[in-house]
Amino acid sequence: MPDGSTSVIIQGKRRFRMKGIIETNPYLKATVHVLDDILPNTNMHEFGALVESLKDLALKIVRSSGTIPPEAQFAVKNIENATFLINFICNNTDLNAFEKQEMLELDDLRERSTKLLTYLVREVQLIDLKKDIQKKVKVDMDQQQREYLLHQQIKTIQDELGGNPSEQEIADLRKRSAGKKWGANVQAVFEKELSKLIRMNPAAGEYSVQAGYLETFLDLPWNVYSEDNFDLRNAEKILDEDHYGLEKVKDRILEHLAVLKLKGDMKSPILCLYGPPGVGKTSLGKSVARALGRKFVRMSLGGLHDESEIRGHRKTYIGAMPGRIIQNLKKAGTSNPVFILDELDKVSSDFHGDPASALLEVLDPEQNSEFHDNYIDLDYDLSRVMFIATANTLSTIHPALRDRLELIDVSGYLLEEKIEIAKRHLIARQLENHGMKKEDVKFTKEALIRLIEDYTRESGVREMDKQIAKVIRRVARKIAFEEEYSKKIGPAEIREYLASPKFSKESYEGNEYAGVVTGLAWTSAGGEILYVETSLSQGKSKFTITGNLGEVMKESAAIAFEYLKSHSSQLGLKPEVFEKWDVHMHVPEGAIPKDGPSAGITMATALASAFTQRKVKKGLAMTGEITLRGRVLPVGGIKEKILAAKRAGIKEIILSKLNKKDIEEIKEVYLKGLTFHYVENVSDVYEIALLDEKIKNPLAIS
């Protein structure tokens, strides 16, 4: 050949049968018996027709094939010898070696040609079938239709071969349904929907929708329940390990486990943990799941505004899917997980519907055994799911929904509790997150106190966790740069790593000025102290209120002023004095919005102090709502307000007498060092709060 290689063409001339091998080296040598082809003696016309048929079929195959060279047509046409023609076609036909060997062993030419004719007819039929398939799927071969063409060809081939994948899919669905523990009514619905799928054309758009519905139907854990762990000692140990404090919540969970253990089954109560951010409401759900040995799923409701997110869409809609309740159960794989409904107070509503109303069915123990999801279109039992809702405030929760919840107050932590949480959980977790060991860093108690008081202002521990992480990152940098550092973190190191303190400790500012009174307020971040300042200037009885106050707080100020004017004689004030002075009441930190009725008695005391120029008792704070008649009504957030008072160094607190029951529910450790005064009327507040001593340079009020 031109490239220097050698090409050899070998043409077989005679058939033979090997008798025995004589030599194998350097090549095979054997004794053989030459075989002759047997020509037919009779019916030569029939044999001739057979040979002509072979020639016609061979020519047809050559013309139809895209791989056989066209020159082969001339070769087949010009062969006159029947024996050579038969052997030539046998040799060049696209048959496997077994079939060729089978024909080679036939001595009778008629028999060999008949068998060859069978093979050629099969080959021609395959070629014709291929043409038929191509005709069925023939389309314009532009770029957009190329993919469609390929799919159609595959589908047509599958139909011709009898291996339709849709039939396999249906068989798989039926097989999976055999192992389900559902009831007879659910089985009947499944069979009905499966029959509907069988009748559908797989090419129809509805087929994939119906198949997806049945897949979801089978993925749901119908009557599949995990076994509860009723080792209450172990459950108590797990809850104590994961969370420091929160005794009321832990007791409630242990009570629930005790009832489950005794009865074996009960409709799960809907617990709602409410309190400021970062106190461990969501993570508590994981501990409950671990204690019970149940699966854990979490669903965030923050910003949810579409009812379909809860109930699902009807499967007739494009892109329909089940609601997130059903989706999470499918993810859990059991019908009794611990299900956290996070941020329940942040559910909103718009023209898509009211999700809070849809949650009524989910969270009502009397209804949720027959929860109806629009996509599944069948009742699903949620009665054994342990729902735990979390919220920062109860004021924005739908009243009907709140009525179905068992409310548990998860209030803020004391300084001592935060220190323990940091030592037990936060520091170890942050060291692990930053690739460090316990011996690399050790926080002293004084350092944690400084970090909590100067760099955080919260009821929870989330911000404290961030500040601890910041300190550990600074240490990690020193280790990576191989710099010297102190493994013992004290107050000095806290100041070095975190720079100047973010907050000054909430402290009582004294009672040197008349008209300044300390109040207690509740915020979503916990309790805080606030000051109500009142000043007088000569004028014509103008009353000004500033400090970014809401409508309720402005009304409290107006009520307090009207009460003072109508009861001025109790304080030795003449009625005409109010016509000679302008009053300006201000609540500091004006950039922060404030609202609520809790500052009612604080404002009343500030006004009384300003007009009488009498000092307010030192170390005193107060909270309570007032009425126009002077009654002091109870307010909420008592524990958070007490914590704020302790942080500020306040010793005495004035509360409504009706708040006494709230104080009795608080642990003794929170109340240590505090004295409580319970009042029924504003005049009682004046008597406790206002001293006979006046300021050194009293304002000449007459």
405/419 same-domain check: no
Q: What is the CATH number of the domain that holds 442?
A: 1.10.8.60
Residue-level pLDDT at 534: 92
Amino acid at 174: R
In the Cβ-directed half-sphere of 426, how many Cα atoms lie within 13 Å?
Answer: 26
Helix (H/G/I), strand (E/B), else coil: 29? strand
Whether 208 is catalytic is: no
| Residue 666, CA distances (Å) to 25, 247, 271, 643, 650 in order | 104, 11, 20, 11, 18
Residues contacting 91, CB < 8 A, separation 6+: 12, 100
Q: Give the mean pLDDT of 220-244.
A: 86
Residue 12 lies in a domain: no
Q: What three-state secondary structure class fits 302?
A: coil
DSSP structural state of residue 78: H
Q: Could you tell me the residue range of the domain that residue 179 belongs to?
A: 164-219
CATH number (domain holding residue 603): 3.30.230.10
What would the pLDDT profile of 158-173 be if each residue is shown by its tens digit?
A: 666 665 667 777 888 8
7 domain residue, yes or no = no
Residue 487 included in any domain: yes
pLDDT classification of 652: cutoffs 50, 70, 90: very high
Find the catalytic residue in 308, 459, 535, 598: 598
Distance (Å, rounded) from C-alpha 328 to C-alpha 299? 8
Q: Map residue 665 onto helix, strand or coil.
A: coil
Q: Of 463, 498, 533, which marks where a domain is finished? A: 498
Q: How confident is the model at residue 143 (pLDDT cuts 50, 70, 90)?
A: low
pLDDT in tens, 452-483: 888 887 778 888 999 999 999 999 998 888 88
| Domain co-membership, 271 together with 392 | yes
**Which residues have C-beta within 8 Å of that of residue 472, sequence separation ≥ 6?**
427, 430, 431, 434, 436, 441
Which residue, 497, 572, 591, 578, is CA-closest to 539? Answer: 578
Look at residue 526 in the predicted model and tell me its pLDDT.
66
Reading the block at residue 525, the tokens are: 């971040």
- Residue 362 placed within a domain: yes
Backbone phi, psi, residue 38, to 5°: -95, 115
Quick check: helix, strand or coil at residue 465? helix
By the 10 Å C-beta count (0-12 exposed, 13-18 middle, 19+ buried), 171 is classed as exposed
Shared-domain flag, residues 428 and 405: no
Residues 673, 526: one domain?
yes
311-342 per-position pLDDT tens digit: 888 887 877 888 888 999 999 889 889 899 99
Contacts of 513 (CB under 8 A, 6+ apart): 533, 695
**How many of the other CB atoms lie within 10 Å of CB of 120?**
21
pLDDT of amino acid 698: 47
Q: Are 338 and 295 in contact (CB under 8 A)?
A: yes
Token couple for 665: 């529910």
Clarify whether 569 is annotated catalytic: no
Q: What is the pTM of this model?
A: 0.62
Q: What size, in residues, is the chain?
A: 702
Residue 375 lies in a domain: yes
Task: Return the CATH number at 394.
Answer: 3.40.50.300
Angstrom distance (rounded) from CA 606 to CA 614 = 10
Tokens describing residue 384: 């054994």
Percent of residues, the chain, with pLDDT higher than 90:
18
pLDDT over 70 (residue 61): yes
Q: What share of the chain is helix, strand, coil (3-state, %, to 5)?
A: 50, 15, 35
Q: Which residue has the tokens 């300006």?
A: 584
The H-or-E segment that residue 356 falls in is helix 355-363
Final residue of a structural domain among 349, 382, 409 = 409
Domain identity same for 580 and 687: yes
pLDDT at 468: 93
pLDDT at residue 263 is higher than 80? no
Q: 428 and 402, same structural domain? A: no
Whether residues 269 and 396 fall in one domain: yes
Residue 145 lies inside a defined structural domain of this protein: no
Asked if the structure places residue 632 within a domain, the reply is yes
35: helix, strand or coil? strand
269 & 395 share domain: yes
Give the angle 143-144-150 at the CA atoms, nearest 5°.
85
pLDDT at 141: 53
Mean pLDDT of 388-399: 86
Report pLDDT for 163. Answer: 58
**What is the structure's pLDDT at 700?**
47
Can you give the pLDDT at residue 418? 86
Do residues 323 and 311 touch, judged by C-beta distance below 8 A?
A: yes
Q: Distances in Å between the alpha carbon of 296 and those of 102, 187, 283?
A: 68, 28, 11
Residue 265 is predicted with a pLDDT of 65
Residues 309 and 255 in one domain: yes
Kindly tell me if the per-residue pLDDT of 510 is higher than 70.
no
Tell me which residue has tokens 């314009």: 140
3-class DSSP string for 522-573: EECCEEEEEEEEEEEEECCCCEEEECCECHHHHHHHHHHHHHHHHCHHHHCC
pLDDT, tens digit (0-9, with 9 covering 90-100), for 178-204: 878 888 888 888 888 888 888 887 777
Q: Is residue 463 part of a domain?
A: yes
Active-site entry in 594, 617, 639, 641: 641
Cβ atoms 583, 577 nearer than 8 A:
no
Provide CB contacts within 8 A for 168, sequence distance 6+.
none
Domain boundary among 431, 465, 498: 498
Kindly state the tokens that stand for 575: 């009625």
d(CA 364, CA 347): 17
CB 186 within 8 Å of CB 227 = no
The stretch 86-113 carries a mean pLDDT of: 86
- 175 and 288 within one domain: no
- How many folded domains does the chain comprise? 5
CA distance to 223, 331, 335, per residue, from 226 (Å): 10, 14, 8
Query: Which residue do the tokens 């076994």 mark?
Result: 227
Determine the Cα–Cα distance for residues 281 and 629; give it in Å rounded to an integer: 40
Highest average pLDDT, of 248-252, 358-362, 412-416, 621-625, comes from 621-625
Mean pLDDT of the chain: 84
Fill in the amino acid letter for 21. Answer: I
CATH of the domain at 86: 1.20.58.1480
Q: Rounded to whole angstroms, how far apart are CA atoms 95 and 112?
A: 14
Average pLDDT over residues 690-696: 72
Give the pLDDT score at 13.
79
Q: Are residues 273 and 201 in the same domain?
A: no
Position 591 confidence tier, pLDDT thresholds 50, 70, 90: low
Task: Please list, residue by residue across 603-626, b when 16 or more beta carbons sit within 10 angstroms of its beta carbon and e when fewer do.
Answer: bbbbbbbbbbbbbbbebbbbbbbb
**Burial (CB count within 10 angstroms: exposed 0-12, middle 13-18, buried 19+), residue 270:** buried
> Do 368 and 459 sit in the same domain of this protein?
no
pLDDT value at residue 673: 85
